[in-house]
Chain A
Amino acid sequence: MPQNYVPIFIFVALIGVLIPVTLLAAKLVRPDNPNKTKLMPYECGIDPVDHARGRYTVRFYIVAILFVVFDVETIFLFPWAVKFKALGVFGLIEILIFLVILIVGYIWIWKKGALEWV
């Protein structure tokens, strides 16, 4: 049905108009006095030391991967904690199985020395 697309076209037209208008309005209204510090790339408040394509040590990757694994663990723990009462013993056992598998992984990376910053 072509008439079903009418709202979509209205949206597209609105996007085409609204964004330039907002940007232009902001440009006209805001005070404009750039300085060197303001134009620096933002890096958590620290002065950038090198350009972003520089190489850095592979250990960061290991830390990042380990972080992701245990981060995902938390993602699974949250909904379980929220629904703890409804899930009862069943949920407790299931989450314990999940944790045991992760703990095996934890022991493994520990013994392999992945947690040491050599």
Chain B
Amino acid sequence: MTLTVTPDTYNFVAFDTAYTARIAEHMATQLGLDDIDILVAINENSSLTRIEVEVTDSLMTIAPHSGALEDTRRPRQQSELNTTITMARGMLRGRDRLRGGFADAPADTELSLPQAAIWDTYIMGRIAHMDIEVNKQAWVYNFRNRHGFSDAVDAVFEKVWNSSHSTWAELSALSANTVSVTA
């Protein structure tokens, strides 16, 4: 497995490529991704928090916008925690698609907002269970924004957050059912 981080130098942010690579390597090992090449291509021109992921059998490409690795308290500085979470989010999504029962999931750009939210909940729940510091309430709020503000929706959130093995078929059905009950 090779892991590459680009770019080498930055114009707009004070990020460190070697530091990012160390975090990414550690995460890849933790997630059992030592049999695939990984490219982390940071888009420093955008301050958004988006993470784009593409996977083939031999290469996983994770392309976070710089806001996803940033310390929101100190603009343009890199945050170790946010870098860790972003690497974990990108790699878990790639791993889900590759061998986690998500092969039939639509491309990221084709996901509806509720579908994206339930998958993010599944990913962030697993990250929280890896003892990485995650603000759970932020993800509760995101899930509610996409599925509705009710106790029934919160119960679905808890179920997904605490799940360690789910498939796209299960999650997409659960999301559709939750949206239709709330509507």
Bind each other: no
User: What is A's interface to B at a CB cutoff of 8 Å?
Assistant: none
